[in-house]
Chain A
């Protein structure tokens, strides 16, 4: 079954491999609904908004669990949110752009570069990120060498260190140039220290002479808590696998110290175009802003980017009796049971994670063990374990001399909000959260993909009633619109504002939605191409947890089971579109 048409059906079979289908490409007999004959239409549009072969898809039946943000993109890549394409394959007439990250270690440069890559790719820009650390690790592994400590300094003191550093930086620069010149690249993100003025000048000159615009993004962290957190995160990175935490931190702090005295912060006098990004977006300043729409779009994105502690959870809504698109039905018994299980599982999951994070304030003695979780929660009439951010907010509430936090809006580390579609079934699935005093927001953008004339039809019905449409759909499931329907692409475009809102949430979000919206959102967080999205599957028995890391996002599946019985809540049933 094709994934768009049936949702809970887990049979891994037929539809997607359309070469076996009776509607294979060779079958061009026209029917009543086919393009009208040429009479009077001799100058009809010949070019479609999308090339018809964009659906030349790789077959995937389950959501890929790996984050695709580090996979290189080739010349024919079409991304989910791409609004239009230009002949050159470059968007926005923005030309080629190199973004150079600047900053000491532990300033989240990698996170910023990965996030920019994810977002701009989703917009349809051909972006690759180039992490010097990756090159170094690869080189060290390949040549079996131990990297000397002074390599990590912007100005190595030993000949060996200097040689290695020079070699690696040259490799990266060559690859970036190749990406622009030979691989139709539009945006390269260069993730390295770049803390020396002369180094930056050379980079700007080299690439500007190739007609590539250069923008620097300087990340400055002067908030001590944030810095410590970043150091701790770095101590967990690939470089320190198998190290003790203390040793790793000590080593990393050494790298930081090596560079601190060498650091030449960017100033307007340098004459370069740059964005100063302070304390992860608390403050941003944009200098010599002459670069065009794409750059402003990136600044817009940076305004919304947060270092997320919380997770995003994806869940389907509960079932109703008829499960028809058009009816706005109540949940049935099974659906209500499902929403109970969902509520308990999500809260348990969040509380477990908060207990592990060490900024949970201690109330008296009773917080030592996880078993006291429930008592703590009920004591505060809050189903969630409070954190220090809760305390801060309570303190400022209603005082005119203090900032008013848009509470529950998700800007704090400890906020938890449930987003649902504006349909009764999804909204009611969140009823038990609401009962527990958790904020539930209906987002119109989460409205499921409008199925148009094929709503509530089984795949067989569609084949019978709309044979030509079906054939077109199979060619390009991502961009095809059934009569009166939305395509996945339409859905992606209207969901974009929500993506940025999701990025700006520090806390936890549960998104209860229809499969079609979950597919598109999931496609963003793990960087799927538009070929993958229509064939993703989300079943009701699983809660998907996305946790955000500086280098990649992680997907965990959590089974939704009824306690004691050990069985899944929903039997796989055959539902329609």
Chain B
């Protein structure tokens, strides 16, 4: 990464790691700030970052050495594929050092610079930083902002942005004011192009994503999976209550509602006073021949399938239907579009929500199909620089549970598995 502090570098790094991991590509971020704190530079003042502060320089130098060493070890010992060196790398000298090191190890690095002169954007990043960065823990917020501005100044004096002529031999990407303008130079591998594509879809404006399953359906009551049934009476009640729940959570903010093309999500969304879009890709995991059966019926009729699915739920594909992996693949465009959008409320189905939830919360692949997402609950996701904040609101309308634990065909909510409001 290249760029001054508060340009969203860590945010972008985290996002890339999350996206690649979601797609089963080994990726890891090495944040030099974390190493600096380990190396004895925790809670630094602005002077610490001055180019002529010898002690500060020594610690920062040590931190970057540690980060790079760990990074190279990770490449070799853990079969890493994409490592991100998250630091300012603001001078040409530093970048040349990284370049040399990489090439010695037969790696051609890609530099990704976030350049920004939009003062509002910078201010927002700083506001976020002072509340989430361990450097300013326990500080007075206004004082922290001041210190942070001073800290940025220390970098400005030595900062050398990537240049289209001088650096034309390097593989680099410059994001100007997030992705308003993008310069892409000498992208040579497919994976690089894919990362650039992803980053181009990101924005760092604050926004929220709300997730909800459809209201309780007739099939839910009958313990059947799949289908295209209507809402139950209680499901309708949830649909009526949803506008109020959403308003309590959003205030006056505007949002767009995305639903699947199945009847039950449309019915759930019908009272919401916002723009609505239907996506085929948000339809529930297709259970193929098991569509419309209860788990008990499936266990009886397809005992081998029932067992196979519990053993590897992520990979298991229903006869004539889909697996979780299939759903992830078809959701990819949705995730990309979601990254581009601002406030969105998604009303969809259990399996689809699990996949979306896994993406935002970094849930490992094998666990994602087992996440509990109860009916009649509104989940709010707030993407932040260092993770996503989750909170849930229960509608207080009773509904059946459709959660099925491993090794049983009975449905019912497990006590331990509700997504707790955490920062992941």
A514 at the interface (CB under 8 A from B): no
Are A287 and B279 in contact (CB-based, < 8 A)?
no
With A and B bound together, what is the CA distance between A139 and B280 in angstroms?
43
How does the 8 Å CB contact mask read for B362-393 relative to A, with 1 for contact and 0 for none?
Answer: 00000000000000000000000000000000
In the bound complex, do residue B200 and residue A484 qualify as a contact, i.e. CB atoms below 8 Å apart?
A: no
| B32-40, B144-152, B176-184 - the one binding chain A | B176-184
- Tell me if B43 counts as interface (CB < 8 A to partner A): no
Chain B residues numbered 312-347 whose CB sits less than 8 Å from any CB in chain A: 317, 319-320, 326, 329-330, 333, 336-337, 340
Contact partners of A493 in chain B: CB under 8 A: 329-330
Chain A contacts of B229 at CB under 8 A? 43
Answer whether A292 and B200 are a contact pair too, CB < 8 Å, given A285-B182, A500-B190.
no
> In the complex, are the beta carbons of A45 and B227 less than 8 A apart?
yes
Contact status B281-A40, CB under 8 Å: no
Q: Please encode chain A, from 81 to 121, with 1 for each CB lying within 8 Å of some chain B CB and 0 for all others.
A: 00111110000110000000000000000000000000000
Instruction: Evaluate contact between A292 and B340: CB separation under 8 angstroms.
Output: yes
B222 to A: closest C-beta gap in Å: 7
Interface status of A299 (Cβ within 8 A of chain B): yes
Confirm or deny: A56 has a beta carbon within 8 angstroms of a beta carbon on chain B.
no
B126 within 8 A of A: no
Contacting pair A285 B228 (CB below 8 A): no
Contact of B94 with A by CB under 8 A = no
Q: Find out whether the CB atom of B226 lies under 8 angstroms from the CB atom of A45.
A: yes
How many angstroms from the CA of A289 to the CA of B169 in the assembled complex? Answer: 25
Q: A43-B219, A284-B183, A494-B329 are in contact. Are A483 and B289 (CB under 8 A)?
A: yes
Q: Is B205 engaged at the interface, CB distance under 8 Å to the other chain?
A: no
Please, how many angstroms separate the alpha-carbon atoms of A167 and B122 in the complex? 51
Contacts A84-B279, A92-B333, A409-B189; A403 near B108 (Cβ below 8 A): yes
CB of A411 within 8 A of chain B? yes
Assuming the contacts A46-B228, A400-B103, asked whether A303 and B184 have C-beta atoms less than 8 A apart, the reply is: yes
CB distance from B196 to the nearest CB of A (A): 7
Contact of A84 with B106 at beta-carbon distance under 8 Å, contacts A285-B182, A504-B190 already known: no
Q: Name the residue of chain B whose CB is nearest to the CB of A487.
A: B320
A409 CB → nearest B CB, Å: 7
By the criterion CB–CB under 8 Å, are B185 and A282 in contact?
yes
CB neighbours of A296 from chain B (8 A) = 197, 200-201, 336, 340
Using Cβ atoms and an 8 Å threshold, which residues of chain B touch A92?
333, 337
Residues of chain B within 8 A (CB-CB) of A293 are 201, 333, 336-337, 340
B112 to chain A, nearest CB (A): 14
Contacts of B394 in A (CB 8 A): none
Quick check: is B291 within 8 A (CB to CB) of the other chain?
A: yes
CB within 8 Å of A: which B235-263 residues? 261-262
Residue of B nearest to A411 (CB): B188
CA distance A101 to B183 in the complex (A): 19
| Set B169, B189, B280: member contacting A49, Cβ < 8 A | B280
Chain A residues whose CB sits within 8 angstroms of the CB of B261 once the complex forms: 47
Do B181 and A44 have beta carbons less than 8 Å apart?
Answer: no
Asked if B186 is at the interface of the complex by the 8 Å CB criterion, the answer is yes
A411 vs B340: C-alpha distance in the bound complex, in angstroms? 31
B422 to chain A minimum Cβ distance, whole angstroms, is 30
With A and B bound together, what is the CA distance between A86 and B281 in angstroms? 10
Task: Give complex CA distance A509, B100 in Å.
Answer: 31
A75 contacts B by Cβ under 8 Å: no
The residue in chain B whose Cβ has the minimal distance to the Cβ of A282 is B186
Closest chain A residue to B258, Cβ basis: A93
On whether the beta carbons of A85 and B280 are closer than 8 Å, the reply is: yes
Chain B hits for A483, CB < 8 A:
289, 319-320
Taking CB atoms and an 8 Å cut-off, the chain B residues in 139-187 that contact chain A are 164, 168-169, 179-187
CB distance from B161 to the nearest CB of A (A): 15
In the complex, A400 Cα to B107 Cα: how many Å? 11
Let me know if B280 and A287 touch, CB within 8 A: no
Q: 10 closest pairs, A vs B, by CB?
A: A84-B280, A43-B229, A300-B197, A303-B193, A286-B182, A284-B184, A41-B292, A45-B228, A483-B319, A285-B183
List 29 interface pairs A-B (beta carbons < 8 Å), by A numbering: A36-B292, A40-B292, A43-B218, A49-B283, A83-B281, A87-B278, A92-B333, A93-B277, A282-B186, A284-B183, A285-B182, A285-B184, A286-B181, A286-B182, A286-B183, A288-B181, A289-B179, A289-B200, A293-B333, A296-B336, A297-B197, A300-B194, A400-B99, A400-B100, A403-B108, A404-B103, A406-B108, A411-B188, A497-B190
- List A residues at the B interface (Cβ < 8 Å): 36, 40-41, 43-47, 49, 83-87, 92-93, 268, 281-290, 292-293, 296-297, 299-300, 303-304, 400, 403-406, 409, 411, 481-484, 490, 493-494, 497, 500-501, 504
New A-B pairs, 8, CB < 8 Å, besides A93-B279, A293-B333: A49-B280, A86-B279, A283-B185, A283-B186, A287-B180, A400-B99, A403-B108, A504-B193
